[in-house]
Amino acid sequence: MWKTLVDRLLGGLVVTGRLTIKYPDGDSRDYGPDTSPHETLTLHDPAILRQIVLNPELAMGEGYMQARITIEDDRLEEVLKLLVHNRMAGQMPLWVRGLDRALYHARLFLQRNAPAAARRNVAHHYDISDDLYRLFLDEDMQYSCAYFERPGMSLEDAQEAKKHHIARKLLLEPGMRVLDIGCGWGGMALTLARDYGVHVTGVTLSENQLATARRRAQEAGLSDRAQFELRDYRRIDGSFDRIVSIGMFEHVGVPNYAAYFSKIDSLLAPEGVALIHTIGRSAPPMAHSPWIHKYIFPGGYVPSLSEIAPALEGSGLWQSDIEMLRLHYAMTLRAWRDRFDAAQADIRAMYDETFVRMFRYYLTACIIGFEDQHQLVYQLQLAKTLAAVPLTRNYLYPNKAASWKQAAE
């Protein structure tokens, strides 16, 4: 029965390219027109058939990481692109579409992310080992989208460019008090304290990141200007001239958006400015990946702008600028995956083959999300007052502004 249902599912799904499935009983079947690309999957475990029928996206990820599904020549990216393109073009069975709708509506329950749950969710991904992340991130351990402002930039240069692009949007002045919500391993906070003369308070829910950030601040001689705390954003008090949050909003959860922006509004000083850097979706909302939710980011979610806007509009904050970074994260992820692949022997020694396959699947799936599934990065610049930010973006590009002035003269 399960093989028949898998056959029916794939028969309706694959309408472009060709997918060959080698079933556990030795049978081999082709799906889709006889056109390129042509990819081949082998299903080794009869139990995977039932899982594919009930939850195809979860089953594909689990099957790959557990080697119950293997791919000819390990062409993981090509297979996932073929499946994604066909999912957008083909016709999924009624029961799969029903599951997608159920998962979409369940997000209001799954993403409640109360403080205790938020801390568990962060620990699931970020507290596994700093040594793992050192193997594929840049030296500053920036675990978010880099900014490739010029062709051919290295990952290190692009991450440095990202930090300073954000710093310019914050319109910093020496002595300002800055809050970094979701400070990671401290790279952004230390850069702002060192290069811009501000006082930064960084908060995180990861004990590993907290220890590393504090150690880095001490080693850099910046402990007096960069302090780090283990604290939920909902439990922060005080007043800050600037607030920055990079790659943390994805963990807030749709039910908490109004509280999040209200908190930022309450923490900002009268002339304050905030910059929220977050993954987003330039298309209507959709269900979060059940595989990503289970294995990588429990409680996480990639919102559409239409989901952010109501809470933002109700906060009282001015939307002074919204910039969309397209493909920058795909380029970042490709650099991470190249480094991850180069370090696979070290990672296997730390974990096992299942972990390696899981993490590589995660990086590859995310690349496809940004190249083929309408994902991008939003930088939301928010201000307490109408005049807190210049009227044009010229202040972000001082060298270009100077060249334009010279040309005019």
Q: How far apart are CA 15 and CA 408, in angstroms?
A: 55
- Please give the span between the terminal C-alpha atoms of the chain, in angstroms, as a whole number: 78
The answer to whether 183 is a known catalytic residue is no
Instruction: Specify the DSSP element, H or E, that contains 3.
Output: helix 2-13
Measure the CA–CA gap between 43 and 64, rounded to whole angstroms. 10
Q: Does domain 115-405 have CATH number 3.40.50.150?
A: yes
113 pLDDT higher than 60 = yes
| Mean pLDDT score, 39-52 | 97
- Tokens of residue 79, six digits: 């297979």
Average pLDDT over the chain reads: 94
- pTM for the predicted model, two decimal places: 0.94
Beta bridge partners of 222: none
- Catalytic residue, chosen from 330, 366, 376, 388, is 366
Residue 407 pLDDT greater than 60, yes or no: no
**What does the alpha-carbon distance between residue 283 and residue 229 come to, in Å, rounded to a whole number?**
36
pLDDT of residue 96: 77
Tell me how far apart the alpha carbons of residues 136 and 406 are, in angstroms, rounded to a whole number. Answer: 43
- Give the SS3 label for residue 48: helix
Mean pLDDT confidence for 129-153: 96
* 314: Cα within 13 Å, side-chain hemisphere: 12
The average pLDDT across 388-398 equals: 92
